[in-house]
Chains A and B, each alone.
Chain A
Amino acid sequence: MNSMERVMTALSYKEPDRVPIFLNLTITGAKELEMSIKDYFSSADNVVKGQLLMKNKYSNDMVTAFLYSAAEIEAWGGEVIFYEDGPPNSGEPFIKKIEDIFKMEIPNINNIAGLLKGLEIIKKLKKIVNEDTPIIGAVTAPFSLPVMQMGFEKYLELIYFRKDEFNQLMKINEEFCVAWANAQLEAGATAISYANPLASPTIVERDTYISTGFEVARKTIARIRGPVATNLASGIALPVMMDLIKTGTKAVAVSVKDNIDEAKRIANKKVAMIGNLDAIDMVNWDKEKTRKEVKELIKKAAPGGGFILSDNHGEIPWQVTENVLLEIAETVKEYGTYPIQVDE
């Protein structure tokens, strides 16, 4: 099976040849090409080269055009800060006053260099991997983007007390999100990773999510013309798993803090599960620990399909070593071959 066949088989709750691996390798590409993170992201060719290299080296079953979350903030006129050893991050929030929300305009994707670079990466990857490997595009959910647009504290005021401003911001964010997701799909992306950490009860309690962000997600995902996988960036998914399924998502990234057995029971044939290796703890892993974690996860989550092995955060930290990533791939090949037979 090639990666596309492997992933599609797993998503349809059948058992492929082995468990598919989605290592969310973004900044690691800079390390592989021995250049700074800023230089790496400055050119589409670097990212294409990095993605293909890492796909082969770590047996990854996807390539991603995701650069960094703050790239979307650049589109809105916000600042991005680069670091030597971590993902670029958004700078000071650019919405200074809540009232400014009514003056905001939706960025035109065709005028934003950073987003055009993302589309160029997808097109170049597509020419090379064709239909053999899924190309994953990415968007930040309209409900979660305001954390970078205006800061969390101001945004909570909107969520709890300023319905008009909340609805207006969701309206323009939804338009941007749909346009950006569909542009990536048109460029050749196979599916969209929909980053919505605020949908997790770790961040926003379920009742509030249901009366605010849930409907936004349902409407937005319905307008995205391709499959969507929801990622809660380490936040727990279990208490809202059924709600996430109702948004139309085809897969859910589960947290290391979720009970994987329970998550599998609820997800069963309704939605595929992606996860849930601990990306933060992975920094401390050695070969033995890596094997133990991967084996345990395969044993619990892989039987019957419907599962893609991945980290739980959506991005492998810079500090995770090459040996750990190689060991993940080796352990999956050894113990993740179907039918699953992991000894006690």
Chain B
Amino acid sequence: MEAINLPIKDFQTALLQIDRIKAAEMFKSIYLKAESFEPLEHLIMESLERIGVGWEEGQLSLSQVYMSGVICEELIENHKPKCESSYKKNPKIAIAVLQDHHALGKRIVYSVLKAGGYDLVDFGQGLSVEKIVEKTIEAELDILLISTLMLPSALKVKTVVESLRKNGSSVKIVAGGAPFRLDSSLWQKVNADADGKNGAHVIQIIEKFVEEGR
């Protein structure tokens, strides 16, 4: 099935209306016609990207972004056994919430990345700088995604970066969350390698890192 024929708009509407049943029906129907996972991945990533942009532009809500990601993650999980076995992609990635126990942003990015075929580790939330550094070094990560909610936590990303570099880690660090959305240059001030505006944007960043690493 050509990408151009995919019902992206209808699928996106089903996601935004939190209509799990309709989204699943469309997903299954495309899979049966295409007998391949590729168009499904394209459908999901294109839809989630448009939804992410819609949120950035103030057209859509954070709840819709989250629920869309969860529905897509469920669809991928449910259909994976029927699809190509070599679906997983390569870099070692983990995601963590620094200090805060509010985990929605982390969950959104986690869902979108899982839906996009990435196998990432969830370090959890409410983590101290020391804990994140310890886990990152132990896991020998390629990419660390740090989610924050409050400004003091966002500023602490700088300490995470410094500590990792002191320990000889060259892990790429992507910082995200409300403070980074409100101050678009904050990621540079805390010496992160990039800012993750939304899940789909994080995938683009990861793809760029992977390309640069080749």
Interface residue ranges, A against B (CB under 8 Å): 83, 85-87, 89-93, 147, 151-153, 156, 159-160, 201-205, 208, 234, 236, 256-257, 278, 280-281, 283-284, 317-319
Interface residue ranges, B against A (CB under 8 Å): 16, 18, 58, 60-64, 66-67, 99-104, 107, 126, 150-153, 155, 178-179, 182-183
- Would you give 5 A-B contacts (Cβ < 8 Å), ordered by A? A85-B155, A86-B151, A93-B101, A159-B63, A203-B63
Chain B residues whose CB sits within 8 angstroms of the CB of A153 once the complex forms:
66, 103-104, 107
Q: Give the top 7 A-B pairs by smallest Cβ distance, nearest first.
A: A86-B152, A152-B104, A280-B182, A205-B61, A85-B152, A203-B62, A204-B63
17 new A-B contacts at CB < 8 Å, known A89-B100, A281-B182: A83-B99, A85-B152, A92-B101, A92-B126, A151-B101, A151-B102, A151-B104, A152-B102, A153-B107, A202-B61, A202-B62, A205-B16, A256-B182, A278-B182, A280-B182, A283-B151, A319-B151
Q: How far is the CB of B156 from chain A (nearest CB, A)?
A: 9
A-B contact count (CB 8 A): 78
Q: How far is the CB of B125 from chain A (nearest CB, A)?
A: 9
State in angstroms the CA–CA spacing of A87 and B152 once bound together: 9
- Looking across the interface, which residue of chain A has its beta carbon closest to that of B105? A152
Chain B residues whose CB sits within 8 angstroms of the CB of A202 once the complex forms:
58, 61-62
State in angstroms the CA–CA spacing of A281 and B189 once bound together: 13
B63 and A156 contact, CB distance less than 8 A: yes
Chain B residues whose CB sits within 8 angstroms of the CB of A201 once the complex forms:
58, 61
| Given known A-B contacts A83-B99, A87-B150, A284-B183, A156 and B61 have beta carbons under 8 A apart | no
A204 and B101 contact, CB distance less than 8 A: no
Chain A residues whose CB sits within 8 angstroms of the CB of B153 once the complex forms:
86
The interface residues of chain A, by DSSP majority, are classed as loop
Chain B residues whose CB sits within 8 angstroms of the CB of A147 once the complex forms:
102
Chain A residues whose CB sits within 8 angstroms of the CB of B61 once the complex forms:
201-205, 208
- Looking across the interface, which residue of chain A has its beta carbon closest to that of B104? A152
State in angstroms the CA–CA spacing of A283 and B185 once bound together: 12
Q: How far is the CB of A210 from chain B (nearest CB, A)?
A: 13
Q: How far is the CB of A302 from chain B (nearest CB, A)?
A: 24
| Given known A-B contacts A91-B126, A92-B126, A281-B183, A152 and B103 have beta carbons under 8 A apart | yes
State in angstroms the CA–CA spacing of A205 and B63 once bound together: 7
Q: How far is the CB of A79 from chain B (nearest CB, A)?
A: 9
State in angstroms the CA–CA spacing of A207 and B182 once bound together: 25
State in angstroms the CA–CA spacing of A156 and B108 once bound together: 13
State in angstroms the CA–CA spacing of A227 and B107 once bound together: 38
B182 and A234 contact, CB distance less than 8 A: yes
State in angstroms the CA–CA spacing of A90 and B179 once bound together: 18
Chain A residues whose CB sits within 8 angstroms of the CB of B67 once the complex forms:
156, 160
Chain B residues whose CB sits within 8 angstroms of the CB of A319 once the complex forms:
151-152, 155
Q: How far is the CB of B148 from chain A (nearest CB, A)?
A: 11
Q: How far is the CB of A71 from chain B (nearest CB, A)?
A: 16
Q: How far is the CB of B133 from chain A (nearest CB, A)?
A: 18
State in angstroms the CA–CA spacing of A319 and B18 once bound together: 39
State in angstroms the CA–CA spacing of A87 and B155 once bound together: 14
State in angstroms the CA–CA spacing of A98 and B179 once bound together: 30
Q: Which residue of the partner chain, among A93, A159, A204, A280, contacts B179 with CB atoms under 8 Å?
A: A280
State in angstroms the CA–CA spacing of A280 and B58 once bound together: 18
Chain A residues whose CB sits within 8 angstroms of the CB of B151 once the complex forms:
86, 280, 283, 317, 319
State in angstroms the CA–CA spacing of A203 and B66 once bound together: 10
State in angstroms the CA–CA spacing of A294 and B102 once bound together: 32
B58 and A86 contact, CB distance less than 8 A: no
Chain B residues whose CB sits within 8 angstroms of the CB of A92 once the complex forms:
101, 126
Chain A residues whose CB sits within 8 angstroms of the CB of B150 once the complex forms:
86-87, 89
- Looking across the interface, which residue of chain A has its beta carbon closest to that of B106? A153
B63 and A236 contact, CB distance less than 8 A: no
Q: Which residue of the partner chain, among A89, A205, A281, A284, contacts B64 with CB atoms under 8 Å?
A: A205
Q: How far is the CB of A315 from chain B (nearest CB, A)?
A: 10
Chain A residues whose CB sits within 8 angstroms of the CB of B155 once the complex forms:
85, 319
